[in-house]
Amino acid sequence: MDYQAILNVIEKELKQFNPGGKVPDYIPELSAVSPDKFGMHLYCLSGEHFFFGDSSERFSIQSISKVFTLALAKKYGKKIWRRVDVEPSGDPFNSLTQLEKEKGIPRNPFINAGSLVIADILISHLDNPKKELLEFVQLITQDETINYDEEVAASEKKHGYRNIALVNYMKSLGNIENNADEILDFYFYQCSISMSTEQLAKAFMIFANEGRILETNERVIKPNSVKRINAIMQTCGFYDEAGEFSFRVGLPGKSGVGGGIVAVHPQQYAVAVWSPLLNEKGNSEKGMRALEELTTLTGLSIF
């Protein structure tokens, strides 16, 4: 498959495409990013790399980090599923309403409430969760330069009223063990990790390669965890637009409000795309379009 030729077509077709939408302003630091950025990187199981545009520029991965924290928490066994469900939410990523009806058990680990519970689990199990998360991401990417962005974390902390409400609400319903401020601090840091599409494609290769790092063949998560995490990406990776992403793209994936989307085709490739303008559901519209073109032009999806 000539992936570079396909990526060149996608770049050409979408360069002038104006998706509308906006850069998020509820995290002030993110609103400073140029809306014209556009890059894509595909990393094949063969070890080859294909890319275009701003593919090596770092941006805020935001909710994409929820996949990394879930992968880390999965090492602690099945108990997490007593505290977080695995159903699509059909509601916005920061919604409070479902929690009341469902007694503090978030619908899935990729909405904010679910990821806050995962953060709580990591804080209970790890001596230094921030350090261990960063080391995990650096390991799977094989890149020690990856880091948190202190300014993005501080910016979100100042304006994180919704997340503050979510964690306190769940605490009142008995689904939070640790101190709310400690959980929020960890959560804002995980969201602030800064990575390029190239680094994201490398990191997510473990989900295309049965839990192994491609370069070293080291197994970092069990194949069974990969199966489950890919299934949750497929059904819950795009807020209340997960059905639309499945319908248009047909791959498991995860988006973030920094404008990044990463998707995997098990046994084939991991791919990431970045375009900061978000649609009403909080997903990068141009990114979705690029991935839709990819699976259309290759004629391959998991379906």
Residue 147 per-residue DSSP state = B
Q: What are the strands of the beta sheet with 269-274, ordered from one edge? A: 49-53, 39-44, 269-274, 260-265, 253-255
- Per rule CB under 6 A, is residue 275 in the interface with ligand GLU? no
Phi-psi region for residue 250, left (φ > 0), alpha (ψ -120 to 50) or beta?
left
Site string for ligand GLU, 81-110 (x = CB under 6 A): ------------xx----------------
Residue 63 or 234 having the CB closest to ligand GLU: 63
- Per rule CB under 6 A, is residue 112 in the interface with ligand GLU? yes
Subset of residues 189 to 228 that bind ligand GLU, contact rule: CB under 6 A: 191
For residue 188 the two structure tokens come to: 């804002």
Whether 65 sits among the annotated catalytic residues: the reply is no
What is the closest distance, in whole angstroms, from the C-beta atom of residue 129 to ligand GLU in the complex? 17
- Per rule CB under 6 A, is residue 283 in the interface with ligand GLU? no
- Per rule CB under 6 A, is residue 156 in the interface with ligand GLU? yes
Residue 254 or 265 having the CB closest to ligand GLU: 254
Q: Distance from CA of residue 135 to its chain's centroid?
A: 17
Number of residues that bind ligand GLU (CB under 6 A): 11
- Rounded distance, CA 136 to CA 298, Å? 32
Residue 115 or 301 having the CB closest to ligand GLU: 115
Q: What is the chain's length? A: 303
Q: Which of 69, 155, 163, 230 binds ligand GLU (CB under 6 A)?
A: 163
Q: Annotated catalytic residue: which of 33, 65, 66, 95?
A: 66
Contact call for residues 105 and 154 (beta carbons, < 8 A): no
- Rounded distance, CA 31 to CA 48, Å? 34
Q: Is 244 helix (H, G, I), strand (E, B) or coil?
A: helix
Burial group, residue 138, by CB count within 10 angstroms (0-12, 13-18, 19+): middle
Q: Which of 39, 41, 63, 189 binds ligand GLU (CB under 6 A)?
A: 63
Q: Annotated catalytic residue: which of 3, 148, 169, 239?
A: 239
Site string for ligand GLU, 2-41 (x = CB under 6 A): ----------------------------------------
**Residues ≥6 apart with Cβ < 8 Å to 70:** 109, 110, 115, 118, 229, 232
Q: At residue 202, what are phi and psi to the nearest 5 degrees?
A: -65, -45
Rg (CA), the chain: 18
Subset of residues 253 to 272 that bind ligand GLU, contact rule: CB under 6 A: 256-257
Whether 187 sits among the annotated catalytic residues: the reply is yes
- Per rule CB under 6 A, is residue 237 in the interface with ligand GLU? no
Q: Which residue(s) pair with 194 in the sheet? A: 60, 147
What is the closest distance, in whole angstroms, from the C-beta atom of residue 285 to ligand GLU in the complex? 15
Active-site positions read 63, 66, 187, 239, 257
Residues of this chain that interact with ligand GLU (CB under 6 A) are 62-63, 93-94, 112, 156, 163, 191, 256-257, 282
